[in-house]
Structure 1
Amino acid sequence: MKHYIRQKKAEETGLYYMSSNNYLEQKKNTHLYFRIGENKYAVNSDNVLEIMKLPALDYPQKLPNNIIGLLKYNNFVINVIDIRFFLNIEVPPYSIHNELLIIKTDEVIFGIVTDKVLGILPFDAAQVDAIPFVDNKMVIESLYKFNQETIFIINIYAIENLLKQHDAGREVDILSLFPQDDESKSIMTKRTLDIASKSSLKLASGELHAKNKYISFNLDNDSYCIELSYVKEVLKDTSITHVPGTPDFIEGIMNLRGDYITVLNLKKFLSLNTNYNKDKNPVIIVKCNELKLALLIDRINELFEFQEDNIGEQSESYFSNEFIYNETLYTVLNVDRITSDKKIIITDM
């Protein structure tokens, strides 16, 4: 089901911003958070179509300076921005390591350049604070408190309206921000060609539908993924407490803000190679069948979308199906089957 966000109009600026009541509506949703410079920002996961490494961009001479380039994406030519231009923050040179978020609203698609995507956040309305500064452009909607960190929630609808206004922004030589060496140019150009070769997204009734989103990860050298609808949170590392008398595939339990969650060692559970550094590996928090479970993995990769008609037949095993995306074979984890398996439940503590 498509997620809609109500909007209010600010009489003085003509911009749109999300009503604070929407945070109550969105508290069950997740947010994707990322780093830009010294700060961390987040957007609603429902509005993220794809994450990719920064490709080469087209830059016609007449672009306003808050747009760093244009990208052909699924038969659309989309604007790519750096929010630092809206916030009057110095913009350092880009590199092949920058990452690009493809964002959709009800009307447009655009890209946001980031330094690094960090993971997925749960959304708790109680952790939202008003911004302690004046943001005339309303690009920052609010502050979010997470693990003693402050994360800026981005108002993508304000950005949408700023793009419509074609604000010239401050004078910056945009082209000088991009790598000039031949190797970097070659890498970024190849990324652009790869994006152009991808199949088009489907449009229906004038609206863009982003179905079948997955978050991918590695166990050893093999690639797996989970439907994003099951994912509540991704943590880069966590402290795990061993529980005596449990099966060897139960790594232990973790305390997530007062909520004790069973940590499943996926490699042992799936009878794979079992080399882990349990205090350093990331975990994916999933919820299904009224059970919240932490899955211990080797490495988080990316968030992507894959069309349903390209996915194979469903299975009742721990792996629901397989598909190939960007020349990589992904095995889809059957979260429903795993969380309904009675042998993973710790009943005595």
Structure 2
Amino acid sequence: MDHYLFFSVGHIRCGIPFSDAIFMIRMVSINTENRNGKGKAGTINLHGEILEVYSIRELFGFKERPPLPSDNLIIVRKGLENVALWVDETYVIQGGDLEPEDRFMNEHLQTIIPGIRIIRSDLIVIFDLIEFLDYGLIGQTRLIDILSDHTGGDDTSPVSLVRDYQEIDRVLKERAEQLALPKEEVKRPPVIEVIRFNLMYQEYAVDMKYIREVIQTSEITPVPGTPDFIAGICSVRGEIISLVDLRALLSIPEKGLTDLNRVIVLTDGNLTFGLLADQITGIGTLKTGDIVRTVRREQTAWQNYICGTIDSLHVLNVQALLTDPRMIIDDTET
């Protein structure tokens, strides 16, 4: 099954093969002195390694704008070198086959811009980064022109809402200085790759090795007689999985409205279920030595299912969740 890392640029959602992505960082100041072509925004210094930055916004054909602190840089492999993709937001990993809508099944339409596959008027997949990026430097056809007959809106950039450009420049330069620092020549501590997500205005982290995919919440069917932390069941490409509500499992106090519009599908190869989340906030790594065990009296569930915290980030004990038989509902009984 193919997995994609999705991001947005303007009103267009785009996916790249997750295997092409190395990691993601927050936007930093870009050195524009060596800018040498359409779509190339400049360079960044990543711990002494100079990386070319490609503006996906410009390659798609949107109007250029200055970087914002809320933008992201996705570090990817382009052949034998690493480069950075400048995008608006990254937010979800999803598996499965993405088939184009009928109106985009035309072979000519799908081959105008090499390396991409148009799924919908607001969704594309870049399946070959080298072809797409190289074409963008010389090609004349813009993606937004191809989609113009199928979209009703233009770029919805938040730049018009921003006023303090001096503060933005200061923040981005400060981040760039930190990013340019050389890596310490010491033995690296053990780390885990994680996905971060929000739930009830609190951020949590899940070990990436247990994540099968992240999907949007579909119809949830309640199941009578199950524990209160089982929100119900849903179908994921024909497979029925149970959905766990951490609010009930961990006795999290309610703090206003919550969306619960994402499902993080967890599996260890034997058991599979989903965690409900409000929003995916990013991917990255955590040093296991920095995880501090937290103690909450009279909260056994918290001790069982939370490894610890880093600052205000709670790290879930996914292995404990996956070995708890209460998380699984036998769909033959429903």
User: TM-score of the superposition, structure 2-length normalised?
Assistant: 0.73
Whole-angstrom CA distance in 2 between matches of 1:270 and 1:244: 21
Once the two structures are superposed, residues 99-120 of structure 1 have per-residue CA deviations (whole angstroms, 9 ceiling, x without a partner) of 2212135621111111222311
Q: 1:101 to 1:317 in 2, by over 3 A?
A: same
Q: How does 1:1-349 map to 2 (within 5 A)?
A: 27=1, 29-61=2-34, 63-86=36-59, 89-96=61-68, 97-105=70-78, 107-124=80-97, 132-133=108-109, 135=111, 138-140=114-116, 142-143=117-118, 150-158=123-131, 162=134, 181-197=165-181, 199=183, 212-274=192-254, 280-306=260-286, 317-320=304-307, 322=309, 324=310, 328-347=311-330, 348-349=333-334
- Aligned to 1:133, the other structure's residue is in SS state helix
Q: 1:260 to 1:276 in 2, by over 3 A?
A: farther
Q: 1:258 to 1:167 in 2, by over 3 A?
A: closer
- Aligned to 1:212, the other structure's residue is in SS state strand
The percentage of aligned residue pairs carrying the same residue is 22
Contact 2:195 2:205 in 1 (8 A): yes
Contact 2:199 2:278 in 1 (8 A): yes
Whole-angstrom CA distance in 1 between matches of 2:118 and 2:108: 9
Whole-angstrom CA distance in 2 between matches of 1:40 and 1:121: 13
Q: 1:308 to 1:295 in 2, by over 3 A?
A: same
CA RMSD of the aligned region, Å?
Answer: 4.0
Whole-angstrom CA distance in 2 between matches of 1:138 and 1:341: 47
Contact 2:29 2:172 in 1 (8 A): yes
Whole-angstrom CA distance in 1 between matches of 2:220 and 2:109: 38
Gaps of 5+ in 2: 141-158, 294-302
- By how many angstroms is 1:259 displaced? 2.6
Q: 1:276 to 1:201 in 2, by over 3 A?
A: farther
User: TM-score of the superposition, structure 1-length normalised?
Assistant: 0.70
Which one has the bigger helix percentage? 2
Whole-angstrom CA distance in 1 between matches of 2:67 and 2:200: 28
Contact 1:241 1:253 in 2 (8 A): yes
Whole-angstrom CA distance in 2 between matches of 1:277 and 1:241: 21
Gaps of 5+ in 1: 1-26, 171-176, 204-210
Contact 1:139 1:155 in 2 (8 A): yes
Whole-angstrom CA distance in 1 between matches of 2:315 and 2:326: 21
- Number of equivalent positions: 298
Whole-angstrom CA distance in 2 between matches of 1:201 and 1:228: 26
Whole-angstrom CA distance in 1 between matches of 2:192 and 2:78: 17
Q: 1:345 to 1:137 in 2, by over 3 A?
A: closer
Worse-superposed segment, 104-113 or 193-202: 193-202
Worse-superposed segment, 61-70 or 189-198: 189-198
Q: 1:273 to 1:131 in 2, by over 3 A?
A: farther
